[in-house]
């Protein structure tokens, strides 16, 4: 029997940050891991519904560095959320070592490649660690081919005003075919900003249509809301505008096709698959 991927008992407004932070402090990792194990969570953050066959096998890719408390909140929130949607999924935390500025796009590419070495997935959801969906009815199912899904476009810090259509940051979903077609993210954006704008241009260049769930269902506007966990802003990339201007010239040779990193380990922890990678900014990859 196939899973329905619909939520009968949904939670709205569960993203009360004070409540989540308090619960995260009260429940230690062993207690939470034990609770998730009884719900069917396997090592590596791998989950499959036991009483139905999921139509979607999803890899959640989360770029990460020095956000320990955010990660704790994220895992305690997202595992039950995804399970209530009856999804088959794996959470991959892709961590960058210290040294070079943070490179979100490259970490997404690394997560994509390492995930495919461990199994087959229908789609990938690229997800920042500081964003939490507010409503269980926000679907984390796979998008259709040629229709990548823009997900985090209504966020509390912007008073839930919808971001511009070209905004493809925060949370986005791609089929394997589409992400391979666009050559993934650029590897050149060190520091904060514009790797998602570059991604949007890649999508349009390959005649893919970015969709929002509200395109077909305007009434879902209150369902696809996100809450952002407070955090210190990363240092901006001073060359991001210059890089963005030249996106078309490096489309083929910048991305999955030239991805280079040192894999330090891939470890199956009780709550997620941990990919630790060393990536260094060099004259060839700097802005």
Least confidently predicted of 19-28, 35-44, 73-82, 150-159 = 19-28
pLDDT bucket at 7, cuts 50 / 70 / 90:
low
With 70 as the cut, is the pLDDT of residue 23 above it? no
Mean of the pLDDT values across residues 176-184? 98
Residue 17: helix, strand or coil by DSSP?
A: helix
The mean pLDDT of the chain is 88
Q: Which residues contact 239 (CB under 8 A, 6 or more apart)?
A: 286, 287
pLDDT bucket at 159, cuts 50 / 70 / 90:
very high
Neighbours of 144 (CB within 10 A): 12
The pLDDT assigned to 284 comes to 41
Neighbours of 250 (CB within 10 A): 16
Residue 81: name the closest of 12, 155, 161, 172 by CA.
12
Question: In the numeric block, which tokens belong to residue 116?
Answer: 């495919």
Tens digits of residue pLDDT in 77-129: 999 999 999 999 999 999 999 888 999 999 999 999 999 999 999 999 999 99
State what percent of residues in the chain have pLDDT above 70.
90
With 80 as the cut, is the pLDDT of residue 168 above it? yes
pLDDT bucket at 274, cuts 50 / 70 / 90:
very high
Residue pair 198/167 in contact by the 8 Å Cβ criterion: no
The pLDDT assigned to 245 comes to 83
With 70 as the cut, is the pLDDT of residue 285 above it? no
């Amino acid at each position: 029997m196939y899973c329905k991927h619909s939520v009968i008992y949904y939670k709205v407004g569960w993203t009360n940050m004070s409540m989540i932070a308090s619960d995260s402090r009260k429940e230690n990792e062993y207690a939470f891991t034990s609770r998730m194990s009884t719900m069917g969570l396997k090592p590596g953050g791998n989950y499959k519904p036991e009483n139905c066959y999921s139509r979607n096998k999803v890899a959640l890719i989360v770029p990460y560095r020095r956000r320990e408390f955010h990660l704790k909140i994220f895992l305690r929130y997202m595992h039950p959320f995804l399970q209530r949607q009856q999804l088959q999924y794996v959470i991959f935390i892709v961590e960058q070592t210290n040294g070079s500025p943070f490179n979100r796009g490259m970490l997404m590419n690394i997560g994509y490649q390492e995930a495919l070495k461990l199994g087959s997935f229908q789609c990938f959801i690229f997800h920042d660690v500081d964003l939490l969906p507010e409503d269980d009815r926000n679907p984390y199912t796979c998008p259709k081919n040629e229709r990548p899904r823009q997900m985090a476009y209504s966020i509390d810090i912007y008073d839930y005003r919808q971001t511009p259509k070209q905004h493809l940051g925060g949370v986005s979903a791609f089929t394997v075919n589409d992400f391979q077609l666009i050559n993934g993210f650029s590897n050149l954006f060190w520091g904060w900003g514009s790797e998602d704008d570059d991604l949007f241009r890649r999508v349009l260049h390959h005649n893919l249509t970015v969709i929002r769930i509200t395109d077909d269902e305007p009434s879902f506007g209150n369902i696809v809301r996100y809450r952002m966990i407070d955090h210190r802003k990363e240092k901006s990339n001073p060359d991001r505008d210059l890089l963005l201007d030249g996106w078309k010239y490096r489309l083929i040779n910048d991305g999955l096709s030239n991805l280079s990193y040192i894999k330090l380990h891939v470890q199956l922890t009780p709550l997620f698959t941990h990919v630790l990678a060393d990536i260094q900014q060099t004259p060839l990859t700097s802005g």
